Chain A
Amino acid sequence: MTAFFQSLGLPYEWAWTVATVVAIVVVSLLVMFSVAMVIYVDRKVLGAIMLRRGPNVVGPFGLLQSFADGLKVFLQETIIPTAANKGIFLLAPIITFTVALAAWAVIPFWDGGVIADINVGLLYILAISSMGVYGVVMSGWASNSKYPFFSAMRASAQMISYEVSIGFVLVCVVLFAGTFNLSGIVEAQQGFGLGLINAYAIHPLLFPMWVVFFISALAETARAPFDLTEAESELVAGYQTEYSSMSFALFWLGEYANILLMCSLNTLLFWGGWLPPLDIPALYAVPGIVWFLVKTFIFFFMFSWIWATVPRYRYDQLMRLGWKVFLPMSLLFVAATSGYLMAIGHFA
């Protein structure tokens, strides 16, 4: 795209800037559109599992339900509690939303289809997702209300705990791939399994790590069964309690953008990203983005499925799982993976 703007007569620097801005706008709009659609999918899957119909009134099969909800929310009044700390109260949803979109900068949708193909892509994702906790903590504190504050405490403890084990899982993947670049990690998976299967997750050392990553992703995005931050039986609606209209919608959109991000990370790190599942030339006729979207959607379906079937964890169980099960396990696997790779001469 930079070349296109250069052909319009712009010098390289400015052509690059314009091309990047255009790419950012396009990716953000597409992510927002996907978020609207997966909210619909989420509600439909939930409805189907509970033997209900789910949204079916607005548009064909209820497909436009999310857009109708968006319009409704947009027209509502933003209520700011008098005791709230106004600036931070309004800043919190903006931070959640921005951070959720910013992480998509390093996600490769197909071979070369990425805004910023940087060397430290995976670390960038970790850095950005660790920023996500601020939106929650700031909203909980600024609301000046006890339930949002409890929720903010829970959220930050939960996110920090599970980020630790996610970090170690990522180390295992990076040891195999030899790079922090997400495109590089996907390319390293080509023909990984017996020269036939394009996925890291089939390796006996990496499959348990994928399971840990998947469950940690549920906890990191505060998705059921780890949705203790908005446990409605205890905390009304958690940190979102005092929010209304667009400020509430920004939380909602950011949350789903994060869920989609975690699904696509599952795809990229363990299931071959844009590569077809099997390393057969005929399968490469299908464009890479189709494989990427199909795999990501399968993971999103699993997220919805789990939401509908698994009861919520107790808080001490959540902490125990993070610190006493996943952390020692992922540490052990980091040691085992590096030992195994040294033994087979992977780094030679």
Chain B
Amino acid sequence: MIQAIAFYFFATIVVGAAVMTIMARNPVHSVLWLIMAFFNAAGLMVLVGAEFIAMLLVIVYVGAVAVLFLFVVMMLDIDFAAMRAGFSRNAPLGLLIAAVLLAELLLAVGAYNAGGLSLGTPDGSAMQAADKSNIEALGALLYGKYIALFEIAGIILLVAMIGAIVLTFQPPKPGARARQDVGKQIRRRPEEATVMKNPEVGQGVEL
């Protein structure tokens, strides 16, 4: 009963927020609706017992990715009218993508119902989900059966990160004061930086 109420509550908000994401006139409002959808999707994850995935969804998407989204959208100077202009031209393409996604979703549910998927444990036996917590079950799978794929994914992310840094890194121009010596800043004492002067009235100070 309560589960059903909670499910319909979260599901309604997810769908409503997703609709508002594409309907909102102001792009910042769009991003905020998107965050609302993320957060309530995490609620749905908790309902199906995937609490670890739910928390990761909030930490990664809501806490980090969406903040950057929000930043970029806030900083951009967007012309609302120009953005709306292409709506009717792009609508068929959007509908096509939506149809493809729907078909894929139906296919995945069908495959799942037909028993096409089997997530095994490292020794190949069937998954014993009931007596393990989410984190242990995921850890056993990721660091056991799928260790090679997991490591490869890690390497790819590392390469992407290094690539992004290399692309944006600019070596300091010769002569530019780009570097700070923090040790030097901390070692500095008041006597080196200030002088006490007691000038005569009307005399001024020679600097």
Contact = CB atoms under 8 A, between A and B. Distances in A.
Partners in one complex: yes
For the complex, would chain A's binding face be called helix, strand, loop or mixed by DSSP majority?
A: helix
A88 B67 contact: no
Interface string A78-119: 000000010010000000000000000000000000000011
A127 B32 CA distance: 17
For the complex, would chain B's binding face be called helix, strand, loop or mixed by DSSP majority?
A: helix
Interface stretch (A42-50, A131-139, A261-269, A305-313): A131-139
B133 A127 contact: no
A57 to B, nearest CB: 39
Contacts, number: 64
B8 to A, nearest CB: 16
B71 interface: yes
B13 interface: no
A142 to B, nearest CB: 9
Contact of A130 (B28, B64, B74): B64
A13 B5 CA distance: 12
A163 B52 contact: no
A137 B55 contact: no
Interface residues of B, number: 27
A301 to B, nearest CB: 27
B185 to A, nearest CB: 9
B64 A160 contact: yes
A156 B67 contact: yes
Contacts of A134: 35, 67
A17 interface: yes
B63 A163 contact: yes
B134 A119 contact: yes
A275 B35 CA distance: 39
Interface in B30-65: 32, 35, 39, 42, 51-52, 55-56, 58-59, 62-64
Contact of A123 (B59, B64, B182): B59
A270 interface: no
